[in-house]
Amino acid sequence: MAKKTIDQIDVAGKTILMRVDFNVPLDESQQITDDRRIRMALPSIKSVIDRGGKLILISHLGRPGGNGFEEKFSLAPAASCLAGLLDQPVAMASDTIGEDAVAKAGSLTDGQVLVLENLRFNAGEKKGCEDFAGKLAALADGYCNDAFGTCHRSDASMVAVPQAMAGKPRVVGHLVAKEIQYLSDAIGTPAKPFVAILGGAKVSDKINVINHLLGICDAVLIGGAMAYTFSLAKGGQVGGSLIEKDKVDLAKELIAKGGDKLHLPVDTHCGDDFGDIAGCNKQVVAAGEIPDGWEGFDIGPETAKKYAAVIRDAKTVVWNGPMGVFEKPPMDEGTKTVAQAVADSDSISIIGGGDSAAAVDQLGFADQVSHVSTGGGASLAMLEGKAFAAVDLLDDTEA
């Protein structure tokens, strides 16, 4: 069932509590080094303030201990950045549910914005504490979830807060609505052929995803370091490559289950010094024939060519995890070839968050795909077919 969006509720004169993802990177002097997450929240923010609503923004940043204020994890830089983007003042509370937050929330006027301090300064956030959630909920007349990156979590701001606001409007923001449209709807009824590309370091991170996708995809393409665990499962030599020995039996099971659907690399681009990939000795070898003293750093050119051919015929593509060490040329070639194929394909193309999103952005293909997810862990969970309580309990659109 589609969820009601922030645009579909009356916000004039009302206070809306909006969960956003302002978990932005900061340098040592507390300067934001990438403000994309703040900019991506602007449509939902403007939907409230441009229609005369009062807006309270809540988010986490980093991993503070839950024992109170820690300056290096303060959301003050995010509030300052948002003020610049909106070209209007943004109030900042020094706490989340304390006197300052309550006073500033109560003094908001139509069209104004308040940012509360980092939710994780309070231990109740990670614990899903109902008391903490109830005090947050009491600040507003409605709730909006626009933080897809944490939708798979059971934190208080994601689940207990909207539960405490039963009877009040509880909706999704623009970002979450778009994620649901692509990741849930497109995967639930994908145009065929449906191709999944899975990379990254660990088979263990993707076990459930591979299992689920093998049941609904026409092809699952494996790359990244986890390919070497599969190679070991087939009796191959992996040299000093990154592997998970305790997942070899599981890899064997996935190979048996996958059959012709599961595509593994046929060659590997290797090097003999991870610390100096640009300057080290390099060679391309057949998959499963990596010599001692060498490590696999990328899928080889023949694999990239084969994968690109599969991708070009696809009508739906989901990609989570790079094919190699894409940050360090020339070991970006496999990821680059796959990205080019995705960009060139006549498909609905969905890029999972995290390293996949970074790779597509870094390689210049972000504007040539259908959707780049804002949440790595959340997009993985959705690819596993998991239900999200944080979304399920929000208001459905009327049929």
Would you please indicate which residues are annotated as catalytic (active-site) residues? 37, 202, 354, 377
Buried/exposed 39-70: b ≥16 CB within 10 Å, e otherwise: ebbeebbebbbebebbbbbbbbbeebebeeeb
Distance between CA atoms of 389 and 154, rounded to whole angstroms?
8
Tell the burial category of 337 from Cβ atoms under 10 Å away from its Cβ (0-12, 13-18, 19+).
Answer: buried
Structural element, H or E, at residue 190: none
Q: Which residues pair with 142 in a beta bridge?
A: 16
Distance between CA atoms of 212 and 269, rounded to whole angstroms?
29
Alpha helices in the chain (DSSP H): 36-40, 42-49, 76-86, 99-106, 123-127, 130-137, 160-164, 174-179, 187-188, 203-216, 226-233, 248-258, 301-312, 333-344, 355-362, 376-383, 389-392
Distance between CA atoms of 286 and 118, rounded to whole angstroms?
50
